[in-house]
Amino acid sequence: MNKPIVVDDANFDQTVLQSKTPVLVDFWAAWCRPCLMVAPILDELAEEYAGRITIARLDVDQNAKTAVKYGIMAIPNLIIFKDGKPASQIVGYRPKAELKRGLDAVLD
C-alpha cells in the first residue's frame, strides 16, 4: 500500500526538489482540524497516483525553516513541486475531486 512519506527540513531538498516525479507536499500541523480532514484524502491519492506522483507531509511546527522558505502562512497548504520548483498551490481544505484536478493538471 502506497502512503504519504514524511519530509523534514533535513531531507526536503533531496526528497522533494531532486525528485524525478512531481511531489505534492502537504504543509500541516497536528492541531489543525482542516489538515486532519485532508489527511485521509491524501492517503487515497497516494494510492491512486502511485508511481506518477509522490505525496509528502511536512509538519510546519517541527520544520519551520522549510515552511518559512515557501511562505507558508496558512495551513493546510498543498504545494505541488515539479522539476524542483513549485508548480501549483492549494491553500485550505479542498474536496478530493478538486485535489485530483490539480494533480492531473500538473501531470498533463
Alpha helices in 14-94 (DSSP H): 33-48, 64-69
User: Of these residues, 7, 23, 25, 35, which one is catalytic?
Assistant: 35
Q: Which three cell numbers stand for residue 25?
A: 507536499
The answer to whether residue 1 scores a pLDDT higher than 80 is: no
83 φ/ψ sector (left φ>0, alpha ψ -120 to 50, else beta): left
Q: What is the mean pLDDT of residues 26-31?
A: 98
Q: What is the mean pLDDT of residues 44-67?
A: 97
Identify residue 98 by its one-letter amino acid code.
E
Q: Is there a catalytic annotation at residue 96?
A: no
Q: Which CATH fold topology does 5-107 show?
A: Glutaredoxin (3.40.30)
Rounded Cα–Cα distance for residues 41 and 61 (Å):
22
**Neighbour tally for 1: CB within 10 Å:** 6
Q: Is there a catalytic annotation at residue 35?
A: yes
Q: What is the pLDDT of residue 61?
A: 97
Confidence of residue 2 (pLDDT cuts 50, 70, 90): confident
Confidence of residue 43 (pLDDT cuts 50, 70, 90): very high
Domain positions in the chain are 5-107
Confidence of residue 47 (pLDDT cuts 50, 70, 90): very high
pLDDT in tens, 5-23: 999 999 999 999 999 999 9
User: Of these residues, 32, 41, 45, 72, which one is catalytic?
Assistant: 32
Q: Determine whether 65 is exposed, middle or buried from the number of CB atoms within 10 Å of its CB (0-12, 13-18, 19+).
A: exposed
